[in-house]
Amino acid sequence: MSVIWHDLECGPYVEDLPLWRALATKHGDPVLDVGAGTGRVSLDLAREGHRVTALDRDEALIGELTRRAGDLPVTPVVADARSFDLGRTFPLCLVPMQTIQLLVGPDGRAGFLACARRHLEPTGVLAIALNEDLDEYDIPDGLPGPTPDICEINGVVYSSRPIAVRAQHDGFVLERRRETIDTAGEHTAEDNRIHLDRLTCEQLEQEAAAVGLRPAGRDLVPETPEYAGSEVVYLSA
């Protein structure tokens, strides 16, 4: 089930793909994709001819990525981004879609940044996407909100609708209502919540400096009607 929800909620996002492709072309292979999920970025780069190592801690997501990869040049790895050792280095490491803000605070980020530093080649680049701020909203029950993401698989309809973004002192809570209707017409509904750590580009650069990573510029992925934009922080070894 995690594969279906991941694909439904994250899979359609494509606005950042041109940036990752350009970076892979510029810096070369292999590329390390952190928080790879079912392969949204990894498989796109592999189809462009790049060799990719895809890392995620969710075995089900990596299993599906492996199935989809087929003969593409993708090496799947099940590991926690805060503590991994792949035994090799990379000219480019990508951290798309606010994965850096899912690592549960400064200690989690410090663990990841230290791992990333050890896995970068001497001239390697680490590219990290983050959201400094999100627009808050809370849609009361019964009122229309954003259009839900919907798919049908084996006769079961899956729907995921954003219903709230709430600010907290240490981050933001993103809430979606996940609903299903099975082949017998039975309906289920539950709310899913994701916490994103509050993080600025300057804060990330300061934390990276503590493990020997230097600021190497920034970029921007523009927002869309469906998705918030991202700032991309570049760090070099």
Question: What does the alpha-carbon distance between residue 223 and residue 183 come to, in Å, rounded to a whole number?
Answer: 36
The pLDDT assigned to 143 comes to 65
Q: What are the pLDDT digits (tens) for 31-49?
A: 999 999 999 999 999 999 9
Q: How confident is the model at residue 1 (pLDDT cuts 50, 70, 90)?
A: low
CATH number of the domain that residue 112 is part of: 3.40.50.150
Question: What is each CA distance from 136 to 26, 139, 163, 171, in whole angstroms?
Answer: 37, 10, 10, 12
Same domain, 191 and 163: yes
The whole-number average pLDDT for the span 214-227 is 89
Same domain, 49 and 162: no
Same domain, 82 and 108: yes
Same domain, 111 and 52: yes
Residue range(s) defining the domain that contains residue 224: 2-132+199-236
Q: Is the pLDDT of residue 135 over 90?
A: no
Same domain, 118 and 63: yes
Q: Percentage of the chain with pLDDT > 70?
A: 98
Q: How confident is the model at residue 138 (pLDDT cuts 50, 70, 90)?
A: confident
Q: How many domains does the chain have?
A: 2
Same domain, 44 and 83: yes
What's the chain's average pLDDT? 92
Q: What are the pLDDT digits (tens) for 81-95?
A: 999 999 999 999 999
The whole-number average pLDDT for the span 230-235 is 96
Same domain, 116 and 206: yes
Same domain, 40 and 146: no
The whole-number average pLDDT for the span 8-33 is 93
CATH number of the domain that residue 158 is part of: 2.20.130
The pLDDT assigned to 200 comes to 94
The pLDDT assigned to 11 comes to 84
Same domain, 36 and 80: yes
The pLDDT assigned to 66 comes to 97
Same domain, 219 and 149: no
The pLDDT assigned to 147 comes to 80
Q: Which residues, in sequence order, are CB contacts of 166 under 8 Å at separation 6+?
A: 136, 138, 172, 173, 175
The pLDDT assigned to 144 comes to 66
Q: Is the pLDDT of residue 234 over 90?
A: yes
Q: Is the pLDDT of residue 134 over 90?
A: no
Q: What is the 3-state secondary structure (H, E, C) of the chain?
A: CHHHHHHHHHCCCCCCHHHHHHHHHHHCCCEEEECCCCCHHHHHHHHCCCCEEEEECCHHHHHHHHHHHCCCCEEEEECCCCCCCCCCCEEEEEECCCHHHHCCHHHHHHHHHHHHHHHEEEEEEEEEEECCCCCCEECCCCCCCCCCEEEEECCEEEEEEEEEEEEECCEEEEEEEEEEECCCCCEEEEEEEEEEECCCHHHHHHHHHCCCCEEEEEEEECCCCCCCCEEEEEEEC
The pLDDT assigned to 139 comes to 81
The pLDDT assigned to 142 comes to 65
Q: What are the pLDDT digits (tens) for 145-187?
A: 678 889 999 999 999 988 888 888 888 999 999 999 999 999 9
Q: Percentage of the chain with pLDDT > 90?
A: 76
